[in-house]
């Protein structure tokens, strides 16, 4: 069975976490791949993997399919130059619907535009592919000019190593993804463990033991939840832990927290968050960089180093890696 990728050159724009994983998986599945990247660490890594690296617009110009893996905040400013380089009927693949929902991107009249969004970071996608395993993914047709857009999405998803595929819309994927990141996976998680650690330390408990209990052990319980689901999780913990979870958990995530979740979701749905992020990105990285630096020297980071015997320069306590980002 043939698909549009059998004879196509795919330009992967950006060589960050998703771009690197998807470019390598595409290549290893037999697709002709070029990487579009500005000179820097990403371009160097791509060349080290034996991939052809071109400037962004040059990569687009020679491709039948273009996979946009650039950071969300960079796409709008780069788009006019990219759009002028597209072939008239080039297929366009996005890993995240953010700019399909919140930006006004112009596409060639005959271009199919699709969404293929793996349900995991690029590192996990690559590792699963190399083990012969697959991650689920969301797929959607944003524009179907050929009548075969969903076929392009499904073929691309298969080549990067994803299955099963869940059909959705760019809006649903974007809103759910942002909500999950802000409320659970990134924002909620970091705030919860920080607050728990601070509560114990303020009452005189060892910072190192508080770290091991509230942060370090989280991985093992998250693995249990991932493997068995909520019911299996409850069955896999002690009676004491279960009683505490069932009676105290709802006090931690009570009505006030649920109200904030609803407010955050409405900010996402209305576009307020996207506008706020666009304004922040326009101002430059100064404020975010300052916040990251402030967080880097919090006592919880020193507790981590002492509890685990990590060196002060260990990257776990340093630069942000954005490993959950779809960029």
The catalytic residue positions are 96
For the chain, how many residues are written? 327
CA dihedral 153, 157, 158, 164 (to 10 degrees): -100
> Which residues lie closer than 8 Å to 13 by C-beta, 6 or more apart?
19, 35, 36, 37, 56, 59, 60, 66, 67, 68, 69, 70, 82
**Euclidean distance between CA atoms 110 and 297, whole angstroms:** 52
Tally of CB atoms within 10 A around 233: 17
Burial of 20 (0-12, 13-18, 19+ CB in 10 A): buried
Strand partners, 135: 162
């Amino acid at each position: 069975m043939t698909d549009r990728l059998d004879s196509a050159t795919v330009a992967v724009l950006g060589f960050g976490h998703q771009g690197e994983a998807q470019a390598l998986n595409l290549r290893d599945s037999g697709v002709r791949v070029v990487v579009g990247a500005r000179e820097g660490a990403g371009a160097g890594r791509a060349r080290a993997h034996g991939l052809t690296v071109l400037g962004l617009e040059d990569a687009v110009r020679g491709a039948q399919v273009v996979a946009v893996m650039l950071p969300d905040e960079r796409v709008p400013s780069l788009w006019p130059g990219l759009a002028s380089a597209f072939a008239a009927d080039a297929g366009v693949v996005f890993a995240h619907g953010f700019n399909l929902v919140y930006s006004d991107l112009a596409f060639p009249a005959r271009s199919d535009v699709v969404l293929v969004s793996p349900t995991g970071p690029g590192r996990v996608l690559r590792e699963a592919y190399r083990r012969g395993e697959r991650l689920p993914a969301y797929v959607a047709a944003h524009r179907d000019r050929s009548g075969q857009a969903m076929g392009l999405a499904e073929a691309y998803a298969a080549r990067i190593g994803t299955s099963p595929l869940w059909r959705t819309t760019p809006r649903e994927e974007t809103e759910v993804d942002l909500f999950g990141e802000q409320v659970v996976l990134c924002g909620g998680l970091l705030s919860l463990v920080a607050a728990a650690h601070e509560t114990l330390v303020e009452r005189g408990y060892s910072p190192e033991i508080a770290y091991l209990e509230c942060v370090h052990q989280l991985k093992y319980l998250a693995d249990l939840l991932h493997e068995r689901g909520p019911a299996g999780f409850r069955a896999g913990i002690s009676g004491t832990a279960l009683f505490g979870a069932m009676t105290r958990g709802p006090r931690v995530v009570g009505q006030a927290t649920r109200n904030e979740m609803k407010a955050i979701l409405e900010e996402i749905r209305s576009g307020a968050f996207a506008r706020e992020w666009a304004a922040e990105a326009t101002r430059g990285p100064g404020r975010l960089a300052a916040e990251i630096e402030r967080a880097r020297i919090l006592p919880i980071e020193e507790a981590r180093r002492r509890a685990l015997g990590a060196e002060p320069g260990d990257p776990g306590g340093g630069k942000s890696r954005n490993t959950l980002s779809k960029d």
